[in-house]
Amino acid sequence: MTERVRVAVIGGGPAGLTAAATLAPSVDGDVLVLEREPETGGIPRHSDHPGYGLRDLRRFVSGPAYARRLTRRARDAGARLETEAMVTGWAGPRTLEVTSPHGRRLVQADAVVLATGARERPRPARLIPGDRPDGVYTTGQLQNLVHLHHREVGRRAVVVGAELVSWSAVLTLREAGCRTVLMTSEYERPEAYAAFHLPGRLAFGVLVRARTRIVAVNGRGRVTSVDIEDLGTGRRRRVPCDTVITTGDWIPDHELARTGGLEMDAATLGPRVDTSLATSLPGVFAAGNLLHPVDTADVAALDGRHVAAAVLRHLAGDPVPGGGVPLVAEAPLRWVAPQLVRPGGPPPSRGRLLLWADAFRTLPRVTATQDGRVLGRVRLPWPAAPGRVFRVPFSLVADADPAGGPVRLSLE
Amino acid sequence: MNTYDVAVIGGGIVGSAIARLLGGTALSVALVEARDDVGDGTSKANTAILHTGFDAKPGTLESRLVARGYDLLGRYAEATGIPVERTGALLVAWTREQLDALPGLRAKAERNGYTACEIVDAAEVYRRVPALGPGALGGLTVPGESVICTWTTNLALATDAVNRGVRLLRGHRVTAVHRGPDATRLVTTAGELSARWVVNAAGLGADALDALFGHDRFTVTPRRGELLVFDKLARPLAPCIVLPVPSSAGKGVLVSPTIYGNVMLGPTAEDLTDKAATGTSEAGLEFLREKGAELMPRLMAEEVTATYAGLRASIGRDDYLIDLDAGQRYLLVGGIRSTGLTAGMAIAEHVADLLKGHLDLVERAGLPAPPRMPNLGEAFPRPYQDAAAIAADPEYGRVVCFCERVTRGEIRDALASVIPPAGVEGLRRRTRAMNGRCQGFYCGARVREIFEGEQK
Ligand SMILES: Cc1cc2nc3c(=O)[nH]c(=O)nc-3n(C[C@H](O)[C@H](O)[C@H](O)COP(=O)(O)OP(=O)(O)OC[C@H]3O[C@@H](n4cnc5c(N)ncnc54)[C@H](O)[C@@H]3O)c2cc1C
Ligand SMILES: Cc1cc2nc3c(=O)[nH]c(=O)nc-3n(C[C@H](O)[C@H](O)[C@H](O)COP(=O)(O)OP(=O)(O)OC[C@H]3O[C@@H](n4cnc5c(N)ncnc54)[C@H](O)[C@@H]3O)c2cc1C
């Protein structure tokens, strides 16, 4: 069976729901959101603490409230939201294979928006050796267990990572009656501690060890301890615990982007997009954490709003301009999103480029160069810190020569 | 206390195959397993290759049984739906010495009765596996080597055994053995049973059990093999099994597609003393990363989905140790090292041959058909893709584990199957749920809830 729609949005998280809410009133025909979970809302559904909606809704609400609000807005705007509907592959350039309890079908769309989000790398992907006991979770699984399924976790947890999401894990653990006895970070200093005051204070008393890595998980049946190593001295010691949370370390859910043959960015591991959020495939767009693993939900949502303009231009038959200059992040910058600036193209969402840094800088200076020429330089009043996105104004690269080579972004 | 004609100790592939075969006769049979599930020992954690036996030591029992097992299991897989992918293998020579060894390997294969190997040049090696690292000098093809699902194999054999009337006793670790004039009494952690004959197929525990029968003839050394499983998106990099030229240290590290659509790198080989040490090690993972970078650099840029370790039952000899002790009505099946998945059904046949003079092994009439196993193979249709199945039962359209596309219907079926899983780990092996790239980030909580809900 084949169904035809005007726009298919894959993923009903903040990015997908907001894209659908923005598009539905202006699109003549169906805007269909396909979401594989039983509920729309994406990650905020199980992130049951305040911290959502500042930039898009201009209010500060809890994750579940935010998820409900975005869902309502998309529905009220006239988008069709289908849950328990998983896109499992492509049957053509804009034709999706979909499985749901209602059947197996193809959905053919004039435009596709990929908004499949990002997740944390689980323990095996981080190659943490040792036994394979129960009690090792990502933050995502932990929050699912606690907030959606009201499950018990252990009593003593070690949290691997000290990013924003790591503090989110600490809050959830606390709520579940599990004490965080240690947080570890491989970086020079805990990524988010200084910057993220609220949870930092709430979780006051948690011991955070920087320059520390986990070298083994111990326990048969249930976790009994972890072994940690001080990266400076090489000294190792054993920390008793019954729960280990591996946090942060993001990877986009890029399966559909890759199997669809989209050009991928080797640094974000998401699809390469231009400032309008068009991918390399005509009529296929992307938004949210799939592109920048990982930023806050409101930024993902604003991507969804931003991508609508490009989708509408495509539906109106305007061709995407060719060419453009690539943006390249240089170490210690890890990635930049979007990655392509086209002549005459719009500025990116919120007029900002998103960057990820692997080193801490208090007053970072970012320089853009093209073919050896300095295009621009900004000093930012906020720090660059591992474990969270930092943003630079697009004006930095706006003067790039459309016929020139790649624009390199470096951190001083 | 129940008295059986035969008690088979060990619910791995070997014990399950033996119980299934004996269960097809008029004998009463018990399959006694220490753990709470079948296939929870070595049989769950191997490289899952259905071996042709081309590189076995000619003339050994192992060489004969691997070749025979290859055919038996291949046919049984067709009958039961155990997924098998006939990918073939390519043995790659990276040094002059290894290149010079290829004709000898081909001759050895022929002595093992396997004549399909061909020597190919470097260009052909790279045509077959373009992602190989630089420096390959040539190779030997083994068109028959295949990948199979070890979990389904074990489960099919055990299910078949139960369907044939074998009494499966899980959670029964045999701790003591008392020989009587007609029967042997087995003390287990969950009560006692007795049997006229006892078959020891206890894998890593076979030496300890053998000692309970008063023998002192071998020691099982657990030889750890650690493995990395890469994301499904890497699968195009490994169109076939890539084998190293074997050395005295064993078969070496291979790159292989898995039946679930992933790519596997490993195993290591390291002798340990602790038979429960199935953890991975820093050194092992590091070694695999180095090896992988040489063998297939592009693979190392892909995500790792899983890491695990299995323990081979090494007994310091080049062959299986299968021995019948008529006086004690006791049969040892020991030292089934690194080929037992393939050879299991042939080992069972061999065991039956040995028992023939002592027990009536005529096949009973009216045996139930072999079980039809759910397909876990990525290369074959799965419920989530099957419009007719979903139309008939919407639960097959309800995807619970997104990475592996496991549906609620499949989980329900597994929980209601002949040998239901005892825990979430067993459910993983029956459905693939939670085995994917997110390892439970999305579905872990829900799978656990479904499991516990259905348990009540
Ligand atoms: C534990 C945790 C705590 C966080 N805390 C905060 C916070 O306090 N404040 C904040 O602003 N941000 C927070 N974030 C980040 C925030 O949740 C994300 O930025 C946001 O959810 C990203 O939105 P998205 O739409 O890009 O992706 P997601 O929210 O991940 O949504 C993607 C959706 O796509 C669906 N999907 C994927 N593939 C398919 C497919 N093939 N078929 C159908 N559907 C599919 C998924 O099921 C999912 O619902 C947190 C994140 C985590 C993990
Ligand atoms: C890394 C690795 C790679 C391999 N690759 C391959 C391959 O590619 N192809 C292949 O054909 N083979 C392969 N093998 C070998 C294969 O996995 C084994 O030969 C096979 O699984 C052995 O099965 P088994 O039934 O003898 O042992 P097991 O599966 O270990 O079963 C023995 C059972 O006995 C039980 N038991 C032990 N003691 C007692 C007791 N006292 N009371 C009750 N129960 C007891 C245990 O709990 C266990 O379940 C590999 C092995 C390893 C480790």
Write the ipTM. Answer: 0.95
Q: How many CB atoms lie within 10 A of CB B247?
A: 11
Q: Of A131, A138, A151, which has the smallest distance from its Cβ to B441's Cβ?
A: A138
Any atom of ligand 2 within 6 Å of the Cβ of B405:
no
The number of the ligand nearest the C-alpha atom of B333 reads 2
CA distance A163 to A183: 10
Confidence check: pLDDT of A282 > 60: yes
Q: Is B86 in the pocket of ligand 2 (CB under 6 A)?
A: no
Q: In sequence order, what DSSP letters do the residues of B218-285 get, joined into one string? A: --PEEEEEEEEEE-GGGGGG-SSEEEEPPBTTBS--EEEE-TTS-EEEE---EE-S-TT---B-HHHH
pLDDT tier for residue A198 given thresholds of 50, 70 and 90? very low
CA of B399 to the centre of ligand 2 (A): 32
B48-69 pLDDT, tens digit each: 999 999 999 999 999 999 999 9
Q: Report residue B173: phi and psi, to 5°.
A: -85, 125
- Range with lowest mean pLDDT among A60-69, A204-213, B162-171, B299-308: A204-213
**Residues B444, A137: C-beta atoms closer than 8 Å:** yes
Does the beta-carbon distance from B285 to A149 stay under 8 Å? no
Residue B248 banded pLDDT, cuts 50, 70, 90: low
What integer pLDDT is reported at residue B41 of this predicted model?
96
3-state secondary structure at position B44: helix
DSSP H helical ranges for B132-198: 150-163
B287 alpha carbon to ligand 1 midpoint, in Å? 35
Beta bridge partners of B281: none
Say which residue, B21 or A382, is predicted with more confidence.
B21
The pLDDT assigned to A314 comes to 98
Mean pLDDT of the A229-248 span: 97
- Closest C-alpha to ligand 1, atom 15: A296
How distant, in Å, are the alpha carbons of A271, A275, A290, A353 from that of A116?
11, 19, 6, 20
pLDDT at A201: 47
Pocket test for ligand 2, best of B38, B43, B345 (most atoms within 8 A of CB): B43
8 Å CB contact of B446 and A149: yes
Question: What integer pLDDT is reported at residue A196 of this predicted model?
Answer: 46
- Give CA angle at A330 (A328, A333), nearest 5°: 105
Give the residue from chain A lying closest to B394, CA to CA. Answer: A101
pLDDT, one tens digit per residue, over A339-363 is: 999 988 999 999 999 999 998 888 8
Residue A194, pLDDT score: 53
Crossing angle, helix B150-163 and helix B424-431, to 10 degrees? Answer: 100
Instruction: Measure CA A226 to chain center.
Output: 28
Q: Do B390 and A1 touch (CB under 8 A)?
A: no
pLDDT of residue A204: 57
Asked if A336 contacts A269 with a C-beta cutoff of 8 angstroms, the reply is no
Chain B environment of A148 (Cβ under 8 Å) = 445
Above pLDDT 70, what percent of chain B? 98
Asked if the model's pLDDT at residue A197 lies above 50, the reply is: no
Residue A12 pLDDT exceeds 90: yes
Chain A residues with CB under 8 Å of B412 CB are: none
- Please give the average per-residue pLDDT across A222-248, as a whole number: 97
For the cut 60, the answer to whether the pLDDT of residue A203 exceeds it is no
| Residue A28 CA, ligand 1 centroid: distance in Å | 28
pLDDT beyond 90 at A48: no
**In this complex, which of A127, A130, A145 lies closest to B304 when CB atoms are compared?**
A127
User: Of the bound ligands, which one is closest to the alpha carbon of residue B438?
Assistant: 1
What sections of A77-216 are H helices per DSSP?
Answer: 139-143, 164-175, 197-202
pLDDT one-digit tens code per residue, B401-444: 999 999 999 999 999 999 999 999 999 999 999 999 999 999 99
Q: Name the interface residues of B facing A (CB cutoff 8 Å).
A: 229, 232-233, 276, 278-282, 284-285, 289, 303-308, 384-387, 390-391, 394-395, 397-399, 402, 405, 407, 437-442, 444-446, 448-449
Ligand 1 environment, Cβ below 6 A = A 10-16, 34-37, 42-44, 47, 51-52, 86-87, 115-117, 139-140, 143, 165, 168, 253, 256, 288-289, 294-298, 300
- Is B444–A145 a contact, with Cβ atoms under 8 angstroms apart? yes
Q: Does residue B174 line the site of ligand 2, with CB under 6 A?
A: yes
Structure confidence by residue, pLDDT tens digits, A112-170: 999 999 999 999 999 999 999 999 999 999 999 998 888 889 999 999 998 889 989 99
Question: Mean pLDDT score of chain B, rounded to an integer?
Answer: 96
Query: How high is the pLDDT of residue B34?
Result: 98
**How confident is the model over B178-187, as a mean pLDDT?**
96
Q: Are B92 and B121 in contact (CB under 8 A)?
A: no
Q: Do B405 and A99 touch (CB under 8 A)?
A: yes
- Tens digit of each residue's pLDDT (9 = 90 or more) over A23-35: 999 999 999 999 9
pLDDT tens per residue across span B289-316: 999 999 999 999 999 999 999 999 999 9
Task: Give the dihedral of Cα atoms A6, A10, A11, A15; nearest 10 deg.
Answer: -60
Of the residues A10, A37, A47, A251, which should be mutated to test ligand 1's pocket, given the most ligand atoms within 8 Å of the CB? A47
Report the pLDDT value the prediction gives residue B252, as an integer from 0 to 100: 86
Q: Would you state the structure tokens that stand for residue A140, as one six-digit string?
A: 């995502």
Contact by Cβ (8 Å): B30, B7? yes
Mean pLDDT of A302-331: 95
pLDDT value for B455: 64
